């Protein structure tokens, strides 16, 4: 019983860390226009819409975050193998991983922008300096929280995987959660605030992203502010729930019929979530969207 | 999907880069065998140099493959490179001294099978597919082997799976503190997979230039070498790890400055805190 109470306590702590990590991850990736919104930011200058938005495309979010987290975890693992204190090891590992992230961000921005020479898109050095540092700060929070939760799984809950492998798994999960949950706010709506809500992007409007802010020209910090309000917390809740429920079902039910209990509960949870998701989707379409039934093709 | 969007115009031809990549990686991997001959681990940094040369070749292969209109497939090309490369590399480490050559041969076999499957079974019909996937599998195998040498000092299966842990001053053999047992191979996998796809992913567009992309590849390679060298402190003596770290850092700083210079050369303009320039018609 004591074990279960201890396990649930650690699970709650890990869930909280995951929520913070998810929120920071989405804010970071949206400031960098990574993932979903990226294609339009990349396309805009080609359609004549020169902009001041940061564009750091480093693969999709899942592989990118896979790397940052597995790197933080690998470095932390090495520092711990050198008999360094775990807290110090995780902090140092995260710092070095963030350094790599920052370097990748700058090379991605200048590279992509230099290739748009034909369309007159300039490289803005001030964007490079101010956005990269802000994404690095957010990435540090995301990496530190995720590596810490991997360490807790390994050290406190006795997960058999070594730290880097846990970092690999949860890093990709973190990127996927942020990419699937947080990005659509930015990529589908915020870039197209000048279009009818929920209308999608007509081809004629491709690349016509919102480039001007309440005052002056919009840059990615405005997107960070916006994401911190809605998309970030949503991603945090998503990743937090994934991690928490995953561990919760394992800790409580793994003793039932040699582990099958946890698997059955997992399947049940997927079913429950599928029903909830479908209900919300249908409700959302009916309430907000101009989603008319497709008309039969007229002959 | 078979419409070729852009071709490699001018610059160094792909075959030349490929041959140079194979030769340089193999030579560097074999130079690390000096570790065994001199009974030290001072030459582990050659693994890092093998990583850099394999990545430069791999990034250009991705450019060739992705010229066939598979723009969003750039990161996945990096993933399949290392997914197939890890099979070749792990199997090759069982062959002792001929491991690098075994990695090349097994990589070719795995790559040809994957290329055949994607072109003929999945019906992608991309002309460069089979050759590119074959090259990428070898790139993945060489890069992972390079990281293994960098972090452990050897490329044989034994050196990747046996380590030692010091408890109360007594050194005990341990599987946990090794390249494979500690899953550092997972870190090497993603370090390489992102580094091989990043150069083309970062430089694609109408203004793509070969020297800028290859410089970016070298930069990614040295950056990965630098962090991998820091991880190697856990597995090789501090002296060898320091050599690798310094070489990685110097190489990275040099290539990074060069890359920034090339980007400045290629960019439309390089502005600091200026508004959006006026463009005709908008």
Cβ–Cβ of B269/A57 closer than 8 Å? no
Q: Kindly write down the DSSP assignment for every residue of A135-173, as one continuous string.
A: HHHHHHHHHHHHHHHHHHHHHTS--SS-HHHHHHHHHHH
Residue A289 Cα, gap to closest chain B Cα (Å): 29
What are the sequence ranges of the domains in chain A? 2-253, 260-288
Q: What is the largest CA-CA distance in chain B?
A: 76
Q: For the segment B92-138, what is each residue's pLDDT rounded down to a tens digit?
A: 999 989 999 999 999 999 999 999 998 899 888 888 889 999 999 99
Cβ–Cβ of A114/B216 closer than 8 Å? no
What confidence score (pLDDT) does residue B282 get?
52
Cβ contacts of B74 on chain A, cutoff 8 Å: 59
Residue B70 Cα, gap to closest chain A Cα (Å): 14
Out of B231, B252, B263, closest to residue A114 by CB: B263
CB A79 within 8 A of CB B171: no
Q: B3 pLDDT exceeds 50?
A: no
Q: How far apart are CA A126 and CA B274, in angstroms?
A: 9
Q: How far apart are CA A164 and CA B191, in angstroms?
A: 12
What confidence score (pLDDT) does residue B66 get?
85
Cβ–Cβ of A162/B193 closer than 8 Å? no
Q: Which residue of A has its CA nearest to B206?
A: A115
Q: For the segment A156-201, what is each residue's pLDDT rounded down to a tens digit?
A: 998 999 999 999 999 999 999 998 888 877 877 788 888 877 666 7
| β-strand partners of A123 | B270
Q: B4 pLDDT exceeds 70?
A: no
Q: State the first-to-last Cα distance of chain B, in angstroms, to the nearest integer.
A: 33
Q: A119 pLDDT exceeds 80?
A: yes
Q: Which tokens go with A114?
A: 């230099």
Cβ contacts of B263 on chain A, cutoff 8 Å: 110-111, 113-114, 123
Out of B223, B256, B267, closest to residue A122 by CB: B267
Q: A98 pLDDT exceeds 90?
A: yes
Q: Which residue of A has its CA nearest to B263?
A: A114
Phi, psi (5° rounding) for residue A51? -135, 170
Q: B69 pLDDT exceeds 80?
A: no
Q: B1 pLDDT exceeds 50?
A: no
Q: Which residues are CB-contacts of B39 (< 8 A; sequence separation ≥ 6)? A: none
What are the sequence ranges of the domains in chain B? 14-158+180-266
Cβ contacts of A77 on chain B, cutoff 8 Å: 182-184, 231, 234
- Residue that the structure tokens 């400031």 belong to: A31
Cβ contacts of B189 on chain A, cutoff 8 Å: 70, 168
Cβ–Cβ of B201/A100 closer than 8 Å? no
Identify the helix (H) or strand (E) that includes residue B98: none
Residue B281 Cα, gap to closest chain A Cα (Å): 8
CB A92 within 8 A of CB A79: yes
pLDDT level of residue B5 (50, 70, 90 thresholds): very low
pLDDT level of residue B9 (50, 70, 90 thresholds): low
- Residue A217 DSSP class: B
pLDDT level of residue A142 (50, 70, 90 thresholds): very high
Q: Which residues are CB-contacts of A145 (< 8 A; sequence separation ≥ 6)? A: A17, A18, A20, A21, A24
């Amino acid at each position: 019983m004591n074990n279960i109470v201890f396990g649930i306590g650690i699970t709650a702590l890990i869930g909280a860390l995951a929520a913070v990590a998810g929120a920071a991850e989405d804010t970071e990736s949206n400031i960098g226009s990574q993932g979903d919104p990226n294609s339009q930011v990349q396309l805009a200058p080609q359609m004549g819409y020169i902009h001041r938005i940061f564009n750091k495309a480093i693969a999709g979010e899942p592989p990118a975050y896979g790397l940052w987290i597995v790197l933080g975890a690998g470095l932390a693992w090495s520092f711990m193998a050198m008999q360094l204190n775990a807290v110090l090891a995780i902090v140092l590992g995260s710092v070095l991983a963030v350094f790599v992230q920052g370097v990748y961000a700058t090379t991605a921005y200048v590279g992509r922008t230099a290739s748009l020479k034909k369309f007159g898109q300039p490289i803005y050095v001030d964007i490079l300096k101010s956005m990269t540092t802000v994404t690095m700060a957010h990435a540090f929070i995301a990496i530190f929280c995720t590596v810490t939760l991997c360490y807790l799984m390994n050290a406190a809950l006795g997960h058999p995987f070594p730290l880097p492998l846990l970092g690999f798994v949860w890093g990709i999960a973190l990127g996927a959660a942020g990419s699937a949950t947080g990005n659509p706010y930015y990529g589908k709506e915020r870039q197209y605030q000048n279009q009818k809500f929920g209308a999608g992007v007509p081809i004629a409007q491709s690349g016509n992203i919102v480039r001007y802010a309440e005052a002056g020209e919009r840059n990615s910090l405005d997107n960070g502010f916006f994401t911190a309000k809605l998309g970030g917390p949503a991603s945090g809740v998503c990743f937090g729930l994934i991690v928490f429920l995953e561990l919760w079902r394992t800790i409580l039910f793994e003793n039932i019929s040699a582990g099958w209990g946890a698997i059955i509960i997992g399947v049940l949870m997927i079913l429950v979530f599928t029903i909830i998701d479908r209900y919300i989707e249908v409700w959302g379409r009916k309430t907000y969207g101009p989603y008319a039934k497709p008309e039969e093709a007229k002959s | 999907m078979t419409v070729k969007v852009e071709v490699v115009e001018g610059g160094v031809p792909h075959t030349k880069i490929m041959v140079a990549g194979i030769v340089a990686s193999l030579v560097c991997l074999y130079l690390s065998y000096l570790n065994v001959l001199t009974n030290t681990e001072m030459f582990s940094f050659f693994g890092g140099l093998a990583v850099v040369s394999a990545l430069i070749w791999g990034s250009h292969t991705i450019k060739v493959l992705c010229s066939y209109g598979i723009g969003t497939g750039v990161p996945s090309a990096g993933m399949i490179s290392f997914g197939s490369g890890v099979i070749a590399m792990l199997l090759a480490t069982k062959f002792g001294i001929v491991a690098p050559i075994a990695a090349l041969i097994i990589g070719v076999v795995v790559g040809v099978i994957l290329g055949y499957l994607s072109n003929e079974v999945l019906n992608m019909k991309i002309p460069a597919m089979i050759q590119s996937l074959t090259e990428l599998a070898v790139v993945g195998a060489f890069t992972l082997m390079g990281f293994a040498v960098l972090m452990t000092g050897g490329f044989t299966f034994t050196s990747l799976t046996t380590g030692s842990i010091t408890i109360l001053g007594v050194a005990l053999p341990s599987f946990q503190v090794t390249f494979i047992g500690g899953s550092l191979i997972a870190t090497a996998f993603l370090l390489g997979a992102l580094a091989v796809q990043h150069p083309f992913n970062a430089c694609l567009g109408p203004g793509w230039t070969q020297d800028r992309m290859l410089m970016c590849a070298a930069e990614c390679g040295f950056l990965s070498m630098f962090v991998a060298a820091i991880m190697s402190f856990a597995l090789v003596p501090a002296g060898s790890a320091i050599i690798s770290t310094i070489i990685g850092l110097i190489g990275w700083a040099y290539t990074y400055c060069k890359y920034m210079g090339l980007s400045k050369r290629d960019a439309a303009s390089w502005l600091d805190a200026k508004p959006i320039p006026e463009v005709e018609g908008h």
